[in-house]
Amino acid sequence: MKDNIISDYDLQALVDDELGPLKANEVKAFIARNPDARKRYRELQRQTRDLKFWWKSAQNKM
Protein backbone atom coordinates (compact mmCIF):
# COMPACT_ATOMS: atom_id res chain seq x y z
CA MET A 1 0.00 0.00 0.00
CA LYS A 2 1.32 3.42 -0.94
CA ASP A 3 1.06 6.10 1.74
CA ASN A 4 -0.45 9.43 0.82
CA ILE A 5 1.91 12.23 1.63
CA ILE A 6 1.58 13.14 5.30
CA SER A 7 3.37 16.32 6.26
CA ASP A 8 4.55 17.81 9.52
CA TYR A 9 1.62 20.20 9.12
CA ASP A 10 -0.75 17.20 9.16
CA LEU A 11 0.84 15.91 12.36
CA GLN A 12 0.51 19.32 14.01
CA ALA A 13 -3.09 19.63 12.81
CA LEU A 14 -3.85 16.27 14.42
CA VAL A 15 -2.30 17.43 17.69
CA ASP A 16 -4.41 20.59 17.50
CA ASP A 17 -7.56 18.61 16.63
CA GLU A 18 -7.95 20.54 13.39
CA LEU A 19 -8.48 17.63 10.99
CA GLY A 20 -11.70 16.15 9.79
CA PRO A 21 -12.39 12.54 10.72
CA LEU A 22 -11.19 11.00 7.43
CA LYS A 23 -7.89 12.88 7.34
CA ALA A 24 -7.37 12.31 11.09
CA ASN A 25 -7.76 8.57 10.58
CA GLU A 26 -5.35 8.67 7.64
CA VAL A 27 -2.75 10.52 9.71
CA LYS A 28 -3.23 8.19 12.71
CA ALA A 29 -2.75 5.15 10.47
CA PHE A 30 0.42 6.69 9.05
CA ILE A 31 1.73 7.36 12.56
CA ALA A 32 1.02 3.76 13.52
CA ARG A 33 3.09 2.49 10.57
CA ASN A 34 5.92 5.01 10.67
CA PRO A 35 8.27 5.21 13.68
CA ASP A 36 9.72 8.57 12.62
CA ALA A 37 6.24 10.07 12.28
CA ARG A 38 5.28 8.61 15.65
CA LYS A 39 8.35 10.21 17.24
CA ARG A 40 7.59 13.58 15.65
CA TYR A 41 3.92 13.35 16.68
CA ARG A 42 4.96 12.76 20.30
CA GLU A 43 7.38 15.71 20.13
CA LEU A 44 4.57 17.94 18.88
CA GLN A 45 2.25 16.68 21.63
CA ARG A 46 4.88 17.50 24.29
CA GLN A 47 5.54 20.89 22.75
CA THR A 48 1.84 21.73 22.73
CA ARG A 49 1.41 20.55 26.32
CA ASP A 50 4.43 22.58 27.46
CA LEU A 51 3.25 25.70 25.66
CA LYS A 52 -0.22 25.43 27.20
CA PHE A 53 1.34 25.02 30.63
CA TRP A 54 3.64 28.00 30.07
CA TRP A 55 0.78 30.17 28.81
CA LYS A 56 -1.42 29.26 31.79
CA SER A 57 1.47 30.07 34.16
CA ALA A 58 2.11 33.37 32.39
CA GLN A 59 -1.55 34.31 32.61
CA ASN A 60 -1.55 33.65 36.36
CA LYS A 61 1.38 36.08 36.80
CA MET A 62 -0.41 38.98 35.07
pLDDT digits (tens, 9 = 90+) for 41-50: 999 999 999 8
Q: What is the mean pLDDT of residues 19-41?
A: 97
Residue 40: partners with Cβ closer than 8 Å, 6 or more residues away = 8, 11
* Stretch 16-42: mean pLDDT: 97
CA-to-CA distance for 24 and 15, rounded, in angstroms? Answer: 10
What is the structure's pLDDT at 2? 53
Chain mean position to CA 44: 5
Percent of the chain with pLDDT over 90: 71
- In this prediction, residue 1 carries a pLDDT of 42
- The C-alpha atoms of residue 37 and residue 30 are separated, in whole angstroms, by 7
- When computed from its CA atoms, the radius of gyration of the chain, rounded to whole angstroms, is 14
Which residues have C-beta within 8 Å of that of residue 14, sequence separation ≥ 6?
A: 24, 27, 28, 31, 41
Q: pTM to 2 decimals?
A: 0.79
Residue 47 has a pLDDT of: 95
